[in-house]
């Protein structure tokens, strides 16, 4: 379980495996190393992965074929940057929203507008997920907890403040970039209950 508050930007040092098969990521990092143990969960661009190796200045995580298929992890290469967040502790403040690290789908950056005090990003996602999007509701994009600013027919917009822009991989996104999308889990639970 995570909060969607990114702790640091890591860098892929090495990759093993194929783009379509299981992959092991060797990630350079500093902050998340402080109390991370082998077997711990780590959100990597919004995907919950298990730490399988730890050394000075880096960790490694593995993604199986199903995870590669459902996320953007298959497109990464050495040198790419990743949002990293350790699992939340029960004593932590929940600064974002409850994020599971279970990606619902990938989306695409449609536009980026620079405003005087922020940047407005518009993301297109699969039509079937749009029913879960509500204005001022929560959503996780590449593991970042955000508030929906506007819901459109097949896309939504979020405002990104300068702090979030500077301290996450949002600064590397361009029009056409693919991202991991996780819908607020509360909406999915409500739908499931109402169907019974």
Q: What is the pLDDT along the chain (196 residues), one digit of tens a residue?
A: 899 999 999 999 999 987 778 999 999 999 999 999 999 999 999 999 999 999 999 999 999 999 999 999 999 999 999 999 999 987 787 777 889 999 999 999 999 999 999 999 999 999 999 999 999 999 999 999 999 999 999 999 999 999 999 999 999 999 999 999 999 888 778 878 888 6
Q: What is the pLDDT of residue 186?
A: 82
Q: What is the pLDDT of residue 91?
A: 79
To 5 degrees, how large is the angle CA 165–CA 26–CA 61?
A: 90
Q: What is the pLDDT of residue 196?
A: 67
> What is the phi/psi pair of residue 193, to 5°?
-65, -45
Q: What is the pLDDT of residue 42?
A: 97
The residue behind tokens 């970039």 is: 177
To 5 degrees, how large is the angle CA 141–CA 194–CA 156?
A: 25
CA–CA distance, 138 with 36 (Å, rounded to integer): 27
Q: Where are the domains of the chain?
A: 8-86, 105-195
Torsional sign, CA 105, 108, 111, 116: positive
SS3 8: strand
Helical residues (DSSP H) of 71-171, grouped into ranges:
162-167
Strands 138-141 and 144-151: antiparallel
83: which residues sit within 8 A by CB, 6+ positions away? 6, 9, 43, 44, 45, 46, 142, 143, 144, 168, 169
Asked if residue 8 lies in contact with residue 29, where contact means CB atoms within 8 angstroms, the answer is: yes
CA dihedral 138, 144, 146, 150 (to 10 degrees): -100
Topology of domain 105-195 in CATH is Elongation Factor Tu (Ef-tu); domain 3 (2.40.30)
Q: What is the pLDDT of residue 192?
A: 81
Q: What is the architecture of the domain spanning 8-86?
A: Beta Barrel (2.40)
CA–CA distance, 9 with 135 (Å, rounded to integer): 28
């Amino acid at each position: 379980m995570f909060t969607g508050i990114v702790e640091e930007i890591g860098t892929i040092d090495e990759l093993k495996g194929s783009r379509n098969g299981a992959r092991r990521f060797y990630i350079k990092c500093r902050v998340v190393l402080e109390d991370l143990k082998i077997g711990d969960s780590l959100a990597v661009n919004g995907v919950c992965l298990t730490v399988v190796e730890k050394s000075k200045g880096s960790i490694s995580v593995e993604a199986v074929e199903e995870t590669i298929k459902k996320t953007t992890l298959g497109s990464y290469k050495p040198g790419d940057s990743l949002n990293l967040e350790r699992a939340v502790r029960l004593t932590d403040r929940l600064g974002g929203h409850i994020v599971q690290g279970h990606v619902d789908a990938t989306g695409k950056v449609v536009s980026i507008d620079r405003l005087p005090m922020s940047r407005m990003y518009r993301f297109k996602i699969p039509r079937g997920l749009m029913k879960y999007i509500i204005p001022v509701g929560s959503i996780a994009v590449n593991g970042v907890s955000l508030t929906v600013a506007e819901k459109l027919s097949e896309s939504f917009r979020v405002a990104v403040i300068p702090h979030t822009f500077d301290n996450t991989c949002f600064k590397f996104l361009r029009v056409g970039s693919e991202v991991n999308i996780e819908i607020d889990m509360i909406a999915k639970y409500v739908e499931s209950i109402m169907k019974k």
